[in-house]
């Protein structure tokens, strides 16, 4: 018969390296808990992303500014190129005006015949293709911005200063006048305006009164 030692109970054999149930539950990490340091890493990534976005915005603004400056430069170069071309053409045609004046005088005197006529018409055609336009006609009102008065007189049949003779035609290229038309002008005779005003007043009075008094 075996004797039992008082105060001692038999315990089940525990495998080597195993822990009791309570210890195992305490050592296991809680589900849903974030690992230590992940929040700081996320904040750092957000800060870096903001810096990248800021740098991208600055570079985009720089690119847009450079593009606008380049477009302005191209427009300025094109405008200067056109201006230089117009000045060169105007200078050339200005030197050609005396030849055109001789051609005009020869045409007026009936001397534009034969080979001279063919050459003269070719010169006029080339000048017109380059944009040269002739202006100045008898009977048009005198405009000091495009006319140069070389002769002055009075005439009873004009109501304003009028070009009565074209001594030399004017020429322009587009809106640019390269030579004003040289003209003879006539003004209304002194007192003619007051006489016409009196006549107009009398006519208005007659109309209001029902016509002139009958004898």
Helix H or strand E encompassing 153: strand 147-155
Mean pLDDT of 53-82: 92
Mean pLDDT of 113-117: 89
Which of the two residues, 191 and 22, has the higher pLDDT score?
191
pLDDT attached to residue 200: 59
Neighbours of 189 (CB within 10 A): 14
Buried b (16+ CB within 10 A) or exposed e, 104-130: beeeeeeebeeeeeeebeeebeebeee
Instruction: Map residue 188 onto helix, strand or coil.
Output: strand
CA distance 176 to 129: 16
pLDDT attached to residue 207: 61
pLDDT attached to residue 190: 80
pLDDT at position 20 over 60:
no
The half-sphere exposure of 6 on its side-chain side, counting CA atoms within 13 A, is 0
Mean pLDDT of 7-20: 51
Question: pTM of this prediction?
Answer: 0.57
CA distance 106 to 117: 9
Which of the two residues, 7 and 54, has the higher pLDDT score?
54
pLDDT attached to residue 214: 47
CA nearest 100: which of 133, 71, 67?
Answer: 133
CATH assignment of 132-197, among 1.10.3720.10, 3.40.50.720, 3.30.200.20, 2.30.22.10: 2.30.22.10
Q: What is the DSSP string of 11-32?
A: -----TT---HHHHHHHSPPTT
pLDDT attached to residue 12: 53
Q: Which residue has the tokens 């017109």?
A: 128
CA nearest 147: which of 131, 128, 171?
Answer: 171
Lowest mean pLDDT among 28-37, 66-75, 128-137: 28-37
pLDDT attached to residue 23: 46
Neighbours of 142 (CB within 10 A): 21
pLDDT at position 95 over 60:
yes
The half-sphere exposure of 42 on its side-chain side, counting CA atoms within 13 A, is 6
Each residue of 172-208: pLDDT tens digit?
998 889 999 999 999 998 865 555 555 656 666 666 6
pLDDT attached to residue 215: 40
> Domain residues of the chain, as ranges?
49-130, 132-197
pLDDT attached to residue 175: 87
Percent of the chain past pLDDT 70, that is, above it, reads 71
CA distance 91 to 83: 12
pLDDT at position 8 over 50:
no
Task: Calculate the average pLDDT of the chain.
Answer: 80
């Amino acid at each position: 018969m075996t004797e039992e030692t008082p105060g001692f109970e038999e315990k089940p054999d525990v495998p080597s390296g195993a822990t009791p149930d309570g210890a195992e539950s305490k050592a296991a990490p809680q589900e849903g808990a974030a690992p230590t340091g992940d929040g700081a890493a996320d904040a750092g990534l957000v800060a870096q992303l903001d810096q990248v976005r800021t740098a991208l915005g600055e570079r985009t603004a720089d690119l847009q500014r450079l593009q606008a400056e380049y477009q302005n430069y191209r427009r300025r170069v094109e405008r200067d190129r056109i201006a230089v071309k117009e000045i060169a053409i105007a200078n050339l045609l200005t030197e050609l005006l005396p030849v055109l004046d001789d051609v005009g005088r020869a045409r007026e005197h009936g001397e534009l015949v034969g080979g001279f006529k063919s050459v003269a018409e070719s010169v006029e055609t080339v000048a017109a293709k380059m944009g040269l336009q002739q202006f100045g006609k008898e009977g048009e009102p005198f405009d000091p911005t495009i006319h140069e008065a070389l002769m002055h007189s009075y005439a009873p049949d004009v109501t304003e200063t009028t070009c009565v003779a074209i001594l030399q035609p004017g020429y322009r290229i587009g809106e640019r006048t390269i030579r004003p038309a040289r003209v003879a002008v006539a003004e209304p005779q002194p007192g003619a305006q007051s006489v016409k005003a009196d006549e107009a007043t009398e006519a208005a009075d007659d109309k209001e009164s029902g016509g002139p008094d009958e004898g």
